[in-house]
Amino acid sequence: MEKRKNPEQFISKPKTKSTTDLPVDFTKMVCEVLTKHYKTSLDLIESDIGERPSFSVSGNIFGDEIVMSVSLGLASAMAHTTLHISSDFDPKASFPSAQDLLAVSVDAAGAWYESYLGDQDTTKERRDALTAVSLAAFEPFGDVPYDWAEIEVEKRKVFLKLDKSNSSLEAAADHWLAAHDPDYQKEEMQEEIEVQSKFVTGPSKKNPPRH
């Protein structure tokens, strides 16, 4: 998982009491919203290459930021297009809440994918970039956020970063650990309890992407 603020701390010690995964209900809901919203373009990609790409969503609530990653990729491919969205977060503050920040992150992801999957003004070349192996495929269409780039969404500051990481493989590794490592299982159960105090599971009325 990408981390914008103090990433070296997460690399050296990824499991901490102040780090929790996003709730499964939330990530599943976001996948369903994006898949439904971009059904037409996903159908076109499947028609072009004979395989349908799918969305996957993951993320973490850290002690100082929230990071959500939205990937689109083919099951047969190692490289997926993954957009990371980061927001500053203070768990002690009453506002904005984790849910507020995640709603903005969903809108940011929807706005970015809209330029490649939207029904209007999108081209085959743009759709092809999403399943390409290299980020260079995006360069003809504008700036590529190779490193964290600041934008504003609904008057809130968020940061975007694009790469070709495969969150499905990372999730598979986590699932293996969950099945075979008792200590990991205990940590996951504790994290799930802690995250519920920071985030109310379930869709907000303003969560679906707005354009």
DSSP-derived 3-state class of residue 137: helix
Number of CB atoms found within 10 A of residue 200's CB: 12
Q: According to the model, what pLDDT value does residue 28 have?
A: 96
Asked if residue 162 lies in contact with residue 144, where contact means CB atoms within 8 angstroms, the answer is yes
Asked if residue 70 lies in contact with residue 55, where contact means CB atoms within 8 angstroms, the answer is yes
- Residues 161-183 as b/e (b if ≥16 CB within 10 A, e otherwise) read bbbbbbbbebeeeeeeeeeeeee
Cα separation, 61 vs 132, in Å, equals 30
Over residues 41-50, the pLDDT tens digits come to: 999 999 999 9
For range 28-32, the mean pLDDT: 97
Q: According to the model, what pLDDT value does residue 201 have?
A: 44
Over residues 138-147, the pLDDT tens digits come to: 999 988 999 9
Over residues 95-153, the pLDDT tens digits come to: 999 999 999 999 999 999 999 999 766 789 999 999 999 999 999 998 899 999 999 99
